[in-house]
Amino acid sequence: MYTKHLWTDRIKWLLRKKKDKECVFCRIVKGFDSELVLKKGEIFVVLNKFPYNTGHLLVFPKRHVENFEDLDEKELIDISITVKKCIVFLRKALKPEGFNIGVNLGEVASASIPHLHYHIVPRFKNDAGFMEVISSTKVMPESLKNTYKRLKKFSHLLE
């Protein structure tokens, strides 16, 4: 039996995380690493660099907040409204049949970035194909750059 290997560039992110003292989302807020930003403001929306599926968005407050209960009332309302807008936005731009939406709180809950953020993952009827089933390997149907270009055309829906 052969050992399966999947080669990615994820190591760059893993190693950088250890070197950088600053949170990746705080860097985006400050204007660094901002090539995939779809919305700026008190709430940010970015295309995930390491998506679970095409159009996987991350939604987070400008202010560095680690715990859900530390969101002030305005941030809680604004982030909820932005998540709703993201659903409308993704329905128009990509036409998914469903969504997975979640927040991981704490390292043991898979929160590898200690800045509160929502994951919005569009789901499609045929988003699992031969490679996913046989090889446990996710195949993305288009590049991040092309997905970003398609989404950017609809970014006015996030305002």
- Counted residue by residue, the chain has a size of 159
Q: Which residue among the candidates 5, 56, 64, 117 is catalytic per the annotation?
A: 117
Specify the DSSP element, H or E, that contains 74.
helix 73-94
> Which residues have CB under 8 Å from 108's CB, separation 6+?
none
Straight-line distance from the first to the last Cα atom of the chain, in angstroms, rounded to the nearest whole number? 52
Q: Which secondary-structure segment (H or E) carries 15?
A: helix 10-19
Residue 97 in contact with residue 125, Cβ under 8 Å? yes
Is residue 119 flagged as an active site residue?
no
Q: How many Cβ atoms are within 10 Å of 138's Cβ, its own excluded? A: 14
Indicate which residues carry an active-site annotation: 117
